[in-house]
Amino acid sequence: MKRKTGLFVCMAALTAVLCGCAALGAEGGAPALPQPQNTLHIAPKGSPSRAAADLVPDRLERDEKGVPLLSVYDVKQEKLIRESVEEYLPAVLAGEMAGDWPLEALKAQAILARTFVLQFVSEKKSRYEGADISTDIEEAQAYDAAGVNERIKSAVEETRGLVLNAGGELPYAWFHAHSGGLTARAKEGLDYEKDEPAYTQCVKGMENSEAPKEAASWEAAFTMDEVIAACRDAGAKVEKIESISIGQRGESGRAMTLLVSGKEVSAPAFRIAIGSTKMRSCLLESLRVEDGQVKMRGRGYGHGVGMSQWGAYAMAKEGKTAEEIVTHYFAGVTLDSAWD
């Protein structure tokens, strides 16, 4: 099975939060496992919901079939491309998930990608002049036009127009590679500064043994200078590493804060600063100073909020539909058609 590697950008209160992609790999008692909420509610396909149609940004023009048009800045070609949302999505999907994955997992990712771009255009302004969005992963979603295959095209076509509708708003379509067992709410996994969205929840990640070992569990070691620099980047002035430990844990068991030489540091911000491909999650099982280094061990890959990609893979292999997959990870949402 093909396994791609890379980084995906997920919208968060932290500027641009890097999370592990699917295509890869505790001190104290573990929290009680919450029961997944039964949130499955799907609008009939081909019958556009008025609420979902109203979520499409007014400033986007439509093509002859009623699909919103985007001005996409292609960073490789260094030019603006005019294409519909449905034409834009296959390359995004190819950048975010391996093209030989189960179709229902790809369809789930396509629904999130479609929701993401509409939500981005609704709230954000591209850094590139004249663009609604770009192929720059530091700004938006991954993009790999060369990786598009028939399975990816089918995933986009079979979910045409479908978006997540969170009570009349477009949710942040968060995802990550591997939950390490439990997903997280936004304040825990992303240090989200606003009120906790009603659609985030802490549920089983649903991953199976086919996920690569480096996504399921990991170890890392950092020099003292690296840790000091990361603390400063995360907003804590630390001069010397005398001790390091986990401060507050969230519902899923992820570290929300670290105590470094007695000073509190945001764990999600520290992870981004130290390197999110090395410190692969905040679901830490061990954190210590040893042999002149800070050593840690943890589970999962990514911030843990929203859909686990390896969980989606496992659920699809078990026969779950894309709708069942995304509504497992996002609470109280409906899947609605924003256009035919």
Query: Is residue 117 assigned to a domain?
Result: yes
In this prediction the pTM is 0.86
- Is 250 part of any domain? no
- How far is the C-alpha of 197 from the C-alpha of 306, rounded, in Å? 11
Residue 22 within any structural domain of the chain: no
Residue 42 lies in a domain: yes
Q: Judge whether 13 lies within some domain.
A: yes
The tally of domains found in the chain comes to: 1
Per-residue pLDDT at 22: 55
Per-residue pLDDT of the chain (340 residues; tens, 9 = 90+): 333 333 333 333 333 333 455 543 323 233 222 323 323 334 444 445 547 899 999 999 999 999 999 999 999 999 999 999 999 999 999 999 999 999 999 999 999 999 999 999 999 999 999 999 999 999 999 999 999 999 999 999 999 999 999 999 999 999 999 999 999 999 999 999 999 999 999 999 999 999 999 999 999 999 999 999 999 999 999 999 999 999 999 999 999 999 999 999 999 999 999 999 999 999 999 999 999 999 999 999 999 999 999 999 999 999 999 999 999 999 999 999 999 9
Q: Is 70 a member of any domain?
A: yes
**What pLDDT was estimated at residue 23?**
41
Residue 101 included in any domain: yes
Which domain does 83 fall in, by range?
7-17+33-175+305-337
Whether 129 maps to a domain, the answer reads yes
> Angle at Cα 190 formed by Cα 188 and Cα 191, nearest 5°?
70
